């Protein structure tokens, strides 16, 4: 870990200034925000993230940690802890997929430390990204190549990859937000704005080092999730190599609106399989207006992987992913969901 | 109050006393090697090789040296021959790996230390290490079995056999011919590989977690070229070892030299990742097993050939087929062992070193044979149970294999099994039941102990034993308490210090079997001095008071059955001498067990979990059922881990390990371990050693992977012969 400058501003205005000051003085010296630190500190110790200036948001952004549900929109402060949100009664009863995606993530200790905003911005677990002694990593050093293609890539993505990067986006919570069409609120040097959550993460293409559409110095302040006929009948299925404290091999967030067994609306998002939070739009289109049963679920699951590209060690993820979609759809359909 | 989780004292079971050091461990006051605070300590950080094979062309230290707080940087240019090349353990020496990390510019494996930075703080040392510029001439490494340039050797001296395997196999009615493999695994004890060295004039004190402190002392003296009596190695607590801290590694000499050069104590706490290279590991293995039986299930031919990975520098061959092929009666047997020399660090011993991989192959093959015979796998083992080992016809000192199968099978409910694969289900989960035998050689080494009885009724026992968490303190206190008839609360224990009487390595499940007899012998000597004759231990204190003496102290050494007299001298020089198992001229001694597991596989997404495991073990006298129970249950959990989770992944391009951290190297978490039950089957064996102890440290792990793979077959009809067993291996196409 290289020495760095640390500040803990007490007001949001000051935070925004300190987040950008460094940028203007020296383009090389990046100011990086610290929330729970469970991604950032880890990567600093590994020498992967080398900020010269760390701006701790924990004093200034405390106002953005509330959880409120007014019957039509769930507002989640970006600094709320994963554990708090996972345990919140409104979240559990009205947005089960959100509660489950959080409580099935990481460990109790991490969930107590980590914030929602930090969770959305967690970095990939690609082993080659996390070890700077591997020279080839386009995400770490643009243009250097990709050590994972041709390396050990069992955990890498099969959807959204490019020939420049195949790193998986491992977060769970993001899949629930994808499925529920969430939006995020931002504050930055140029003021406040909002954007659909689906626009936050960028596919690697030929610029895998550009991961989000955040502008320099911008902070995520809130997450807004609209209520809908599908939110209560929603579920998160996470398939993994051990029972807890492990990233997904494949995960599926499903939200369903049914009339009898007829699908009136459906949302499917996939985790552990793609380079970014991933919505399986074609699979949804195929199901909308049809009966949900083993056959239609299987057909939808196949559709979701139409464009999948497997590497040497991860072809099985396509099959696990398809099974996970079928399982998630049928289990969600079987939920006792009451209209609120 | 009686605790129902383990047997209470009866017959061959001793008292389930609580751990001697429980309080210190719970309240955090137990001092581990890296907890020792020495004035003016300099902190060391290792820079390790990022190539798998080649030569260091140049090292640029300018930027690193410029960092404030950097004291010194050691490289091959400054260390070189100051650490002597000595014999490795496997050729009669001390050190577990004969490549000297900073001995030359030569790189033998990825992760090899290439520089050691000494600084005022750990963080400064780490930052400086990262600023060192290294350039290499890179050669292509051979990373594993199938790599170009691997050197495969058949170890003919390890061949074994009887009868005519080939002819018998060719003519048999029912046969199994199958190949199996096991992965690279690392011990990953919680405590990292730490070493602190401090010189006082020409005297060196080493604080380092170890399973054999005298091996460190004498080996280090040889490497440094100094009198062993100038070295003291201390560690009263070891935070888990499992074989990884078994023997001297090259890091110790580096730290000692660094401390001498800068005239300050030096502390190294290697990172988790570096630990994957600094010490031994379980190398990958391959197996070919052929079994043939007649229609009643009697084995008529069995063959087990193994292939093991080792390093270029050292040949380590574990040859677990020397046991698997002796487990059951069979007239025609053949065994062979091969090693593949690769560009990796030297592997070594990991809990059940040869037993775990070889048992996986052999006990799976037996299950395959049972299905081929349409026979219950327990009955197949019963039909082939034997009182003599089949190769030389030597008697077992005791053998309770079928008692274990019966006890564990009854507790598990094995009789309720439906045999057909895929025939059991619970909702969305496929169920599978499987079983396997567990075994471990009963071994012992020479040992010494000192016992002091004071007139106030206090007893002190000392020996350079090791507390790895297995219960050594408690065992030592308990044996003295029982032998002298004093309450255990009045006994104190010293261990973990080379100034104490020597004992053997805390390995091979032989710690208690070796040391308990020495403590018993010292207690005997005290009783003899008090002339209590044959009277019960309860009378010792009466005699002590009558004697008018303040203290009686006795030293005793014991020699293990099968070891020559000259081996006693070796004990005083940190040598490894252990005998027993299948390597005695007159008899065979093994601890046995039987393990039953239930697996659950999700019908759609194929997650594989062990929902229930029952093991029954017969291991002679159990001195403390509480700590023994901990070893057995812990061993079974290790087995689940070994079958379903653990695998060190190699990137063949540079023979590197790419998951060398606890997030990516999977170990089971609590949620993975459901219902694990260990039953202790009473067994009396007065032949094995004076204490009648067989040892329980490893046997609990041995059969688990086979039992699990056999259960997966029962659940799915798929034979999985390569560990670990993962989702992708039990998939079905959508
Ligand atoms: C061993 C381990 C296992 C894990 N398992 C899982 C898992 O199973 N599933 C899962 O989903 N996650 C998992 N995680 C990831 C974990 O959830 C994230 O590390 C955590 O959520 C990050 O939150 P944080 O508040 O600690 O972020 P930080 O580390 O503080 O920040 C992460 C990044 O986001 C930026 N940032 C933080 N907050 C904001 C904000 N409000 N606005 C703008 N930028 C911001 C920071 O600058 C930094 O770059 C695991 C992590 C570990 C270490
Ligand atoms: S997959 Fe992406 S993150 Fe991983 S090595 Fe390749 S470029 Fe880097």
Task: Please judge whether A242 and B671 are an interchain contact, meaning their C-beta atoms are less than 8 angstroms apart.
Answer: yes
| Pocket-testing residue among A142, A152, A158, A167, ligand 2, by greatest number of atoms within 8 A of Cβ | A167
pLDDT of res. A25: 46
* Nearest ligand, CA A156: 2
* CA distance linking residue B488 with residue B493, whole number of Å: 11
Q: Give the closest residue to A61 by CA, choosing from A121, A122, A118.
A: A118
Q: Is the distance from the beta carbon of residue A169 to the nearest atom of ligand 1 less than 6 Å? A: no
Q: Which residues of A touch B670 (CB under 8 A)?
A: 244
The CA B50 to ligand 2 mean position distance, Å, reads 18
- The DSSP letter of residue A146 is B
In ligand 2, the atom with minimum distance to the C-alpha of A128 is: 5
Task: List the single residue in B with minimal CA-CA distance to A251.
Answer: B605
Lowest-confidence segment of A10-19, A153-162, B354-363 by average pLDDT: A10-19
A332 pLDDT higher than 70: yes
Write out the CATH class of domain B40-139+190-240+245-278.
Answer: alpha beta
Third-level CATH fold of A234-339: Enolase-like; domain 1 (3.30.390)
The CA A209 to ligand 2 mean position distance, Å, reads 9
Write out the CATH class of domain B285-442+584-730.
Answer: alpha beta
Q: What is the pLDDT of residues B57-74, one digit of tens each?
A: 999 999 999 999 999 999
* CA distance linking residue A26 with residue A175, whole number of Å: 36
Closest CA–CA distance from residue B357 to any residue of chain A (Å): 22
B693 pLDDT higher than 70: yes
Q: Which residues of B touch A244 (CB under 8 A)?
A: 669-672
* Nearest ligand, CA A129: 2
Question: Quick one: pLDDT band at residue A340, thresholds 50, 70, 90?
Answer: very low
Longest CA–CA separation in chain B, Å: 85
**Contacts by residues A257-260 (CB-CB < 8 Å, ≥ 24 positions apart):** A257/A228, A257/A229, A257/A230, A257/A233, A258/A233, A258/A292, A258/A333
Pairing of strands A5-7, A53-56: parallel
The reply to whether B444-578 shares the fold of B285-442+584-730 is: yes
N residues, chain B: 734
The CA A115 to ligand 1 mean position distance, Å, reads 7
Question: Quick one: pLDDT band at residue A17, thresholds 50, 70, 90?
Answer: confident
In ligand 1, the atom with minimum distance to the C-alpha of A271 is: 11
Nearest CA to ligand 1 atom 17: A119
Nearest CA to ligand 2 atom 2: A165
CB A269, CB A178: distance < 8 Å: yes
| Pocket-testing residue among A42, A85, A121, A176, ligand 1, by greatest number of atoms within 8 A of Cβ | A121
Per-residue tokens: B164: 């005519």
CB B310, CB B317: distance < 8 Å: yes
Sequence ranges of the domains in chain A: 5-56, 62-121+169-226, 234-339
In ligand 2, the atom with minimum distance to the C-alpha of A146 is: 6
Give the nearest partner residue to B130 out of A47, A127, A246, using CB atoms.
A47
Question: Quick one: pLDDT band at residue A27, thresholds 50, 70, 90?
Answer: very low
Question: Quick one: pLDDT band at residue A30, thresholds 50, 70, 90?
Answer: low
pLDDT of res. A227: 98
Mean pLDDT of chain A: 94
CATH architecture of A62-121+169-226: 2-Layer Sandwich (3.30)
Q: Which residues of A touch B640 (CB under 8 A)?
A: none
* CA distance linking residue B116 with residue A176, whole number of Å: 47
* CA distance linking residue B282 with residue B387, whole number of Å: 32
At B479, give phi and psi (nearest 5°): -65, -45
The CA A158 to ligand 2 mean position distance, Å, reads 13
Q: Is the distance from the beta carbon of residue A129 to the nearest atom of ligand 1 less than 6 Å? A: no
Question: Quick one: pLDDT band at residue B12, thresholds 50, 70, 90?
Answer: confident
Task: Decide which of B674 and A16 is more confident.
Answer: B674
Task: Decide which of A16 and A105 is more confident.
Answer: A105
Nearest CA to ligand 1 atom 51: A106
Q: What is the pLDDT of residues B463-488, one digit of tens each?
A: 999 999 999 999 999 999 999 999 99
Q: Give the closest residue to B479 by CA, choosing from B4, B25, B23, B20.
A: B20
Nearest CA to ligand 2 atom 8: A137
* CA distance linking residue B566 with residue B545, whole number of Å: 39
Nearest CA to ligand 1 atom 6: A106
- Mean local confidence (pLDDT), B379-404: 98
Domain covering A5-56 assigned CATH 3.30.43.10 in the classification: yes
Q: What is the pLDDT of residues A117-157, one digit of tens each?
A: 999 999 999 999 999 999 999 999 999 999 999 999 999 99
> Which among B132, B134, B604, B673 is the top mutation candidate for probing chain A, defined by the most A β-carbons within 10 Å of its own β-carbon?
B604
Task: Please judge whether B604 and A324 are an interchain contact, meaning their C-beta atoms are less than 8 angstroms apart.
Answer: yes
A29 pLDDT higher than 80: no
pLDDT of res. B733: 54
A244 touches chain B (CB under 8 A): yes
| Pocket-testing residue among A43, A124, A136, A138, ligand 2, by greatest number of atoms within 8 A of Cβ | A138
DSSP-assigned beta bridge partners for residue B395: B388
Sequence ranges of the domains in chain B: 40-139+190-240+245-278, 285-442+584-730, 444-578
Give the nearest partner residue to A316 out of B123, B670, B727, using CB atoms.
B727
Interface A–B counts its CB contacts (< 8 A) at: 84
Q: Give the closest residue to B611 by CA, choosing from B600, B620, B622.
A: B600
Strands (DSSP E) contained in B455-581 are 459-462, 491-494, 551-558, 578-580
Percent of chain A past pLDDT 90, that is, above it, reads 90
Third-level CATH fold of B444-578: Aldehyde Oxidoreductase; domain 4 (3.30.365)
Q: What is the pLDDT of residues A276-328, one digit of tens each?
A: 999 999 999 999 999 999 999 999 999 999 999 999 999 999 999 999 999 99
* CA distance linking residue A277 with residue A196, whole number of Å: 13
Closest CA–CA distance from residue B731 to any residue of chain A (Å): 8
> Which among A45, A241, A306 is the top mutation candidate for probing chain B, defined by the most B β-carbons within 10 Å of its own β-carbon?
A241
* Nearest ligand, CA A162: 2
pLDDT of res. B534: 62
In ligand 1, the atom with minimum distance to the C-alpha of A39 is: 29
């Amino acid at each position: 870990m290289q020495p760095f400058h640390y500040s803990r501003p007490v007001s949001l205005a000051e935070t925004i200034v300190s987040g950008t000051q460094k940028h203007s003085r020296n383009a090389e010296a990046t100011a990086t925000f610290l929330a729970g630190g469970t991604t950032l500190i880890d990567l600093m110790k590994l020498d992967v993230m080398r900020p010269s200036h760390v701006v701790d948001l924990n004093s200034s952004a405390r106002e953005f940690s509330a959880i409120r549900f007014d019957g039509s929109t769930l507002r989640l402060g970006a600094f709320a802890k994963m554990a708090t949100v996972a345990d919140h009664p409104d979240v559990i009863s009205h947005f089960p997929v959100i509660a489950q995606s959080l409580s099935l993530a990481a460990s109790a200790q991490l969930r107590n430390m980590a914030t929602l905003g930090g969770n959305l911005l967690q970095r990939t677990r690609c082993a080659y990204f996390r070890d700077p002694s591997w020279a080839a990593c386009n995400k770490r050093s643009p243009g250097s190549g990709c050590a994972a293609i041709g390396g050990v890539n069992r955990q890498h993505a099969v959807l959204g990859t490019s020939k420049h990067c195949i790193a998986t986006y491992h977060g769970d919570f993001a899949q629930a937000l994808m499925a529920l069409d969430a939006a995020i609120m931002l504050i930055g040097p140029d003021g406040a704005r909002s954007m659909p959550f689906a626009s936050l993460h960028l596919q690697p293409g030929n610029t895998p080092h550009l991961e989000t559409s955040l502008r320099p110095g911008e902070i995520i302040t809130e997450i807004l999730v609209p209520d809908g006929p599908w939110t209560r009948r929603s579920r998160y299925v996470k398939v993994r190599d051990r029972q807890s404290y492990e990233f997904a091999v494949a995960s599926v967030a499903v939200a369903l609106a049914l009339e009898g067994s007829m699908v009136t609306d459906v949302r499917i998002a996939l985790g552990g399989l793609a380079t970014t939070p991933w919505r399986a739009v074609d699979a949804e289109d195929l199901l909308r207006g049809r009966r949900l049963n083993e056959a239609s679920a299987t057909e939808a699951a196949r559709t979701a992987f139409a464009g999948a590209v497997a590497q040497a060690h991860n072809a099985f993820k396509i099959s696990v992913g398809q099974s996970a979609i079928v399982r998630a759809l049928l289990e969600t359909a079987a939920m006792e969901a009451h209209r609120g | 109050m009686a605790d129902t989780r383990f047997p209470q004292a009866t017959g061959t079971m001793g008292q389930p006393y609580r751990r001697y050091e429980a309080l210190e461990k719970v309240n955090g006051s137990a001092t581990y090697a890296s907890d020792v605070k020495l004035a003016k300590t300099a902190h060391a950080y290792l820079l390790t090789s990022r190539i798998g094979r080649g030569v260091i062309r140049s090292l640029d230290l300018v930027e690193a040296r410029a960092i404030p707080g950097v004291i010194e940087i050691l490289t091959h240019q400054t260390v070189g021959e100051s650490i002597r090349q000595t014999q490795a353990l496997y050729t009669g020496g001390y050190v577990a790996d004969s490549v000297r990390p900073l001995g030359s510019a030569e790189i033998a494996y990825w992760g090899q230390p290439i520089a050691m930075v000494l600084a005022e703080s750990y963080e400064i040392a780490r930052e400086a290490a990262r600023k060192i510029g290294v350039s290499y001439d890179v050669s292509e490494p051979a990373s594993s079995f199938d790599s170009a340039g691997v050197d495969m050797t058949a170890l003919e001296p390890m061949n074994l056999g009887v009868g005519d395997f080939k002819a018998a196999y060719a003519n048999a009615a029912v046969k199994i011919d199958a190949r199996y493999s096991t992965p690279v695994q690392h011990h990953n004890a919680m405590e990292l590989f730490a070493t602190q060295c401090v010189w006082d004039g020409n005297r060196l004190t080493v604080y380092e977690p170890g399973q054999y402190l005298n091996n460190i002392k004498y080996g280090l003296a040889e490497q440094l070229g100094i009198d062993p009596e100038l070295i003291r190695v201390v560690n009263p607590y070891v935070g888990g070892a499992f074989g990884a801290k078994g023997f001297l590694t090259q890091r110790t000499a580096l730290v000692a030299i660094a401390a001498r050069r800068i005239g300050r104590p030096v502390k190294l706490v290697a990172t988790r990742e570096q630990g994957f290279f600094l010490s031994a590991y379980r190398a990958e293995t391959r197996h070919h097993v052929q079994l043939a039986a007649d229609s009643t299930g009697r084995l008529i031919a069995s063959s087990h050939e193994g292939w093991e990975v080792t390093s270029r520098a050292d040949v380590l061959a574990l040859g677990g087929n020397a046991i698997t092929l002796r487990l059951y009666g069979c007239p025609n047997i053949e065994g062979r062992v091969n090693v593949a020399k690769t560009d990796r660090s030297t592997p070594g011993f990991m809990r059940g070193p040869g037993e775990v991989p070889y048992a996986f192959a052999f006990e799976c093959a037996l299950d395959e044979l049972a299905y081929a015979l349409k026979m219950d796998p327990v009955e197949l083992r019963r039909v082939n149970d034997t009182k003599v080992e089949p190769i030389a016809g030597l008697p077992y000192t005791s053998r309770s294999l079928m008692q274990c199968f019966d006890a564990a099978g009854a507790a598990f409910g094995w009789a309720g099994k439906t045999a057909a694969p895929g025939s059991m289900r619970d909702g969305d989960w496929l169920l599978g039941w499987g079983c396997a035998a567990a075994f471990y050689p009963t071994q012992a080494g020479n040992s010494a102990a000192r016992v002091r009885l004071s007139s106030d009724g206090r007893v002190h026992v000392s020996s350079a034993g090791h507390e790895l968490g297995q219960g050594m303190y408690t065992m030592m206190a308990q044996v003295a308490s029982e032998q002298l008839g004093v309450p255990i609360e009045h006994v104190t224990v010293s261990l973990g210090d080379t100034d104490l009487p020597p004992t053997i390595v805390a390995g091979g499940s032989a710690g208690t079997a070796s040391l308990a007899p020495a403590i018993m012998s010292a207690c005997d000597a005290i009783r003899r001095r008090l002339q209590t004759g044959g009277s019960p231990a309860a009378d010792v204190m009466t005699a002590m008071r009558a004697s008018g003496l303040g203290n009686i102290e006795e030293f005793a050494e014991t020699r293990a059955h099968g070891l020559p007299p000259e081996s006693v001298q070796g004990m005083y020089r940190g040598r490894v001498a252990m005998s027993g198992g299948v390597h005695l001229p007159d008899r065979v001694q093994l601890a046995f067990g039987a393990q039953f597991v239930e697996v659950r596989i999700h019908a759609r997404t194929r997650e594989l979990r062990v929902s229930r495991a029952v093991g029954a073990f017969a291991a002679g006298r159990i001195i403390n059922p509480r700590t023994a129970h901990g070893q057995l249950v812990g061993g079974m959990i290790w087995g689940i881990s070994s079958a379903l989770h653990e695998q060190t992944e190699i990137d063949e391009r540079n023979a590197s390990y790419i998951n060398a951290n606890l997030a990516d190297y999977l170990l089971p978490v609590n949620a993975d371990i459901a219902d694990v039950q260990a039953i202790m089957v009473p067994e009396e064996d007065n032949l094995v050693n004076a204490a009648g102890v067989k040892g329980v440290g490893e046997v609990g792990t041995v059969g688990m992977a086979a039992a699990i793979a056999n259960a997966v077959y029962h659940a799915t009809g798929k034979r999985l012969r390569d560990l670990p067993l993962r989702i992708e291996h039990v998939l079905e196409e959508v």
